Amino acid sequence: MSALSRKPKTFKLRALHSQKKFGVAGRSCQEVLRKGCLLLQLPVPGSRLCLYEDGTELTGDYFWSVPDNAELVLLTKGQSWQGYVSDISCFLSMFHEPHAGLIQAARQLLSGERAPLRQKLLADLLHTVSENSGAETRAEDPPWFEGLESRFRSKSGYLRYSCESRIRSYLREVSCHAPAVGAEAREEYVRVVDAMGQKLRAAQYNGGYFDRGAKAGGRLCTPEGWFSCQGPFDMDDCVSKHSINPYGNRESRVLFSTWNLDHVIEKKRTIVPTLAEAIEDRGGRELDWEYFYSLLFTSENLKLVHIACHKKTTHGLRCDPGRIYKRPAKPRGRRAARKRP
């Protein structure tokens, strides 16, 4: 059947980054292109048509296989379109420097919205664009500090304190296990815990993990304060891509308190009992307490996880038997006496 005898195909046409659509009909790709350029007042030379959905260029061979009322984007010379990806990229670019008009429009929509899903999407949008993560002090962002003691004057200072508090609680748990240790080994157990405490105090209880101002190797966030979930103990990454910036606003700060520093090798079930047993059974061997320190208090064995990625099942992992005790130093052999010529 010739193109002239066929019924014209209809399309919804828009220009790049425009929300306004026009209905266009034609029996060929060139006819639709000419009509579209006339409607949008764009030059025909160098222009082309692409499917809005995936950016596929519309050609003569492909023209009749496209469904009626398909959405097209008219591109001029030098322009490109990758489909939905381009629209999403454009949308995301607004979050780098959100305009006051965007925030106001979202608030107006939310005030009159009744559909729960749309309410959540708009609320999440407002939550994100309203963040003031660049501010650091109480004077710069008073709402962020609501409910906190007046001694906290900076966001980094409070979040550092928050991390220190978690690590201190781990040390108290280890210390509280002392009465369960056999009487003969209890003194050595207390000595080891004291040594761990001294090392933690020197490291400021690893509070830098939550401090965006700490050095790159000593923090778990970006310089802007974004934390990414490291995934459950038995996975290498977080499949849900959970992330949060507690420096952004008060709500994010509160929600971040539900994130966990999860021990991959479990603290109560495995590390502490193994430590106590190793001290009781050392039999003259020297305990490598710094290995246990790394498991209890450092990112060698701690993963920062969203509450949904915190699996409370038994991990079933053991301490490394080869690292519980220090390897005995090899005796130095006596040098052979030199023969005199």
Q: Which helix (H) or strand (E) holds 228?
A: strand 227-228
Burial class of residue 178, CB neighbours in 10 A (0-12, 13-18, 19+): middle
The pLDDT, as a whole number, for residue 87 is 64
Q: Is 152 within 8 Å of 158 (Cβ atoms)?
A: yes
What is the b/e burial string over 290-325, where b = at least 16 CB atoms within 10 angstroms of the residue's CB?
ebbbebbbebebbbbbbeebbeeeebebebeeeebb
* Sequence-distant (≥ 6) Cβ neighbours of residue 250 within 8 angstroms: 143, 144, 145, 146, 147
Instruction: With a cut of 70, list the residues of the chain below it in pLDDT.
Output: 1-5, 84-103, 105-106, 110, 113, 127, 129-130, 331-341
The pLDDT, as a whole number, for residue 131 is 77
The CATH number of 9-87 is which of 3.90.260.10, 2.40.50.140, 3.10.20.10, 3.40.50.300? 3.10.20.10
Q: What is the DSSP letter of 6?
A: S
The pLDDT, as a whole number, for residue 151 is 96
* Sequence-distant (≥ 6) Cβ neighbours of residue 161 within 8 angstroms: 152, 207
| 3-state secondary structure at position 84 | helix
The pLDDT, as a whole number, for residue 20 is 87
- Domain ranges (residues) in the chain: 9-87, 95-130, 155-309
Q: What are phi and psi of 112, to 5 degrees?
A: -110, 0
The pLDDT, as a whole number, for residue 17 is 81
